[in-house]
């Protein structure tokens, strides 16, 4: 059972936007046992669309097309797909009523003919209602092959995949099980890990693969397997996990399964142990806070985040002693500690975290080398701070510091 994802839009090929849809769709298809054979991104150009549709139909059973469904002239997916299926466009009254309702409720400009044309669909398609937007999803069949056209707007596409596409595919096709188990490690490079795991890798059964995903201080080890019996497959993967874990005890952080990112693992543990968190950020500029608040349910454990970016705000808002800053500089162990202690107290939280560093490209208010970062932790047991050099690239320093903070926090709350 193979799928191909086709994403359409000049903006992808000229690099104006990053295609995030394909990753979401790939993960979703895997969850119901469908493998993705290929992801193809092409321009809004009729001949190329038709060529891509043909090739995908040869290689895959399920073809998911996103993008090109807007009301403007540069969007040609719907017309091209209708032509590919030798079909004609007809008005769908349910879609029309939905478009009119959306305009009434959320949009201040009056509805136009362009908007109403969103209700035109190929006569043989099954409409997938798009509750968040005006462009409907479309489900078209050719024998045992299925073409699914979805809008490119991520949250519209996501809802359609979850509410409509996955249940319908699961109903139509018999599928094997695909399971992934990802081991999160922090603190060792991929080749050093690979050496430890060499014997295990040589003896992996054929239906299980091991992959290494290194990223800024973190390496994820992914075991993937495919099989017809979910329990047997799950046990086979677990056997490999049990073989691997004793060899990487010192760097093992947790498992990243089903949207279980490290911050979600941390969040669950904080809620379970009835602890709260507060964050004071300097060099990470709000990104650590946002990593937690992007997920719903954060209010159960998250007290607040203070982005004291300017030095003066560390004094005014966090109440860091000016003398400490003057003596040690703003990028220092002493300031990281003071920030963590004070944010914990001010927000009445169990755990306070702080970051202070030079993300670069210039040195800012401190003499510390670009890339120097301190991460502080305050709990009822006391305060600690750790020093790092995160390299000389701004985006990298910020992201590596966020990752390192999550790693340290995870250790902190699971070990204490």
DSSP-derived 3-state class of residue 45: coil
**Is the Cα torsion angle 65, 66, 71, 73 positive or negative in sign?**
negative
Task: Output the smallest distance, CB 364 to its own copies, in A.
Answer: 6
Of 222 and 328, CB closest to its own copies? 222
Please choose, out of 242-250, 358-366, 374-382, 406-414, the segment that lies near its own copies by the rule CB under 8 A: 358-366
In the complex with its own copies, the residue whose CB is nearer, 57 or 365, is 365
Q: Is 179 helix (H, G, I), strand (E, B) or coil?
A: strand
Instruction: Take residue 16 and report the two structure tokens written for it.
Output: 């104006």
Q: Between 337 and 400, whose beta carbon lies closer to its own copies?
A: 400
Cβ closest to its own copies, residue 41 vs residue 264: 41
- Main-chain phi, psi angles of 38, to 5 degrees: -160, 150
In this structure, are residues 165 and 173 in contact, taking their beta carbons and an 8 Å threshold? no
Q: Is 106 in the site for its own copies (CB under 8 A)?
A: yes
Q: State the minimum distance, in angstroms, from the CB of residue 186 to its own copies.
A: 13
Residue whose CB is less far from its own copies, 121 or 251: 251
CB-neighbour burial class of residue 111 (10 A; exposed 0-12, middle 13-18, buried 19+): middle
Distance CA 268, CA 266 (A): 6
Distances (CA, A) of 20 to 65, 215, 292, 335: 14, 18, 20, 38
Q: Are 353 and 279 in contact (CB under 8 A)?
A: yes
- Of residues 119 through 138, those in contact with its own copies by CB under 8 A are 132
Element (H, E) at 314: helix 311-316
Place of tokens 């400009």: 109
- Among positions 80, 82, 92, 115, the unique one binding its own copies when judged by CB under 8 A: 115
Residues between 372 and 411 that touch its own copies (CB under 8 A): 389, 391-396, 398
Residue 123 or 155 with smaller CB distance to its own copies: 155
Binding mask 176-215 for its own copies (x = CB under 8 A): ----x-x-----xxxxx-xx-----x-------xxxxxxx
What's the CA angle centered on 198, arms 194 and 200, to 5 degrees?
Answer: 115
Nearest CB to its own copies, comparing residues 123 and 361: 361
Site for its own copies in 14-73 (CB under 8 A): 14-20, 22-28, 30, 35-44, 48, 70-73
Residues 219-278 that bind its own copies (CB under 8 A): 220, 222, 224
DSSP string, 301-361: TEEEEEE--SHHHHHHTT---HHHHHHH-SSSHHHHHHHHHHHHHHTT-SEEEEEEE--SS
Q: Closest Cα partner for 340 from 291, 376, 374?
A: 376
Cβ distance to its own copies smaller for residue 14 or 381 = 14
Q: Where does residue 133 fall: left (phi above 0), alpha (psi -120 to 50 degrees), or beta otherwise?
A: beta
CA distance 38 to 30: 13
Write down the least CB distance from residue 254 to its own copies, Å: 16
Shortest spacing between CB 240 and its own copies, in angstroms: 14
Residue 109: CB minimum distance to its own copies, A: 4
State the minimum distance, in angstroms, from the CB of residue 136 to its own copies. 15
Residue 76 sits in the site that holds its own copies (CB under 8 A): no
Question: What is the distance between the alpha carbons of residues 20 and 75, in angstroms, rounded to a whole number?
Answer: 19
The verdict on 360 binding its own copies (CB under 8 A) reads yes
Nearest to 175 by CA among 26, 31, 59: 31
Nearer to its own copies by Cβ, of 334 and 370: the residue is 370
Task: Compute the half-sphere exposure of residue 60: CA atoms within 13 Å on the CB side of its CA.
Answer: 25
Least distance to its own copies, CB of residue 394, Å: 6
Count of residues interacting with its own copies (CB under 8 A): 110
Instruction: Enumerate residues 282-341 that contact its own copies by CB under 8 A.
Output: 285-290, 292-294, 296, 298-299, 302-310, 312-313, 316-317
Binding residue for its own copies (CB under 8 A) from 361, 367, 414, 416? 361
């Amino acid at each position: 059972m193979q799928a191909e994802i086709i994403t359409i839009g000049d903006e992808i090929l000229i690099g104006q936007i990053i295609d995030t849809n394909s990753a979401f769709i790939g993960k979703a298809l895997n969850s119901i046992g469908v493998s993705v054979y290929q992801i193809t991104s092409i321009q809004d150009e009729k001949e190329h669309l038709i060529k891509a549709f043909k090739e995908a139909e040869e290689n895959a059973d399920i073809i998911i097309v996103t993008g090109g469904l807007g009301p403007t002239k540069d969007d040609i997916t719907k017309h091209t797909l209708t032509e590919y299926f030798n079909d004609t466009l007809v008005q769908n009254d349910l879609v029309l009523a939905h478009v009119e309702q959306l305009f009434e409720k959320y949009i201040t400009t009056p509805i136009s003919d362009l908007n109403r044309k969103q209700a035109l669909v190929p006569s043989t398609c099954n409409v997938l209602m798009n509750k968040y937007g005006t462009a409907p999803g479309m489900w078209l069949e050719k024998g045992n092959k299925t073409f699914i056209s979805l809008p490119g707007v991520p949250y519209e596409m996501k809802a359609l995949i979850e509410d409509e596409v996955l249940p319908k595919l699961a109903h139509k096709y018999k599928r094997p099980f695909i399971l992934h188990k990802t081991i999160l490690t922090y603190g060792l490079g991929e080749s050093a890990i690979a050496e430890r795991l060499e014997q295990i890798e040589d003896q992996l059964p054929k239906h299980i693969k091991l992959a290494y995903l290194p990223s800024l201080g973190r390496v994820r080890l992914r075991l993937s397997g495919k099989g017809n019996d979910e329990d047997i497959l799950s046990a086979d993967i677990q056997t490999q996990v049990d073989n691997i874990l004793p060899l990487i005890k010192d760097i093992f952080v947790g498992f990243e399964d089903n949207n279980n990112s490290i911050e979600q693992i941390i969040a669950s543990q904080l809620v379970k142990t009835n602890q709260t968190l507060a964050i004071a950020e300097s060099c990470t500029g709000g990104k650590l806070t946002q990593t937690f608040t992007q997920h719903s349910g954060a209010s159960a454990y998250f007290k607040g985040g203070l982005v004291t970016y300017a030095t003066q705000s560390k004094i005014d808002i966090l109440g860091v002693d000016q003398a400490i800053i003057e003596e040690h500089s703003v990028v220092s162990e002493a300031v990281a500690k003071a920030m963590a202690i004070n944010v914990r107290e001010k927000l009445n939280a169990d755990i306070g975290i702080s970051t202070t560093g030079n993300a670069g490209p210039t040195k800012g208010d401190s003499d510390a080398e670009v890339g120097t970062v301190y991460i502080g932790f305050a709990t009822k047991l006391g305060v600690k701070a750790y020093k790092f050099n995160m390299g000389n690239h701004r985006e990298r320093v910020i992201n590596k510091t966020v990752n390192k903070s999550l790693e340290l926090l995870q250790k902190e709350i699971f070990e204490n």
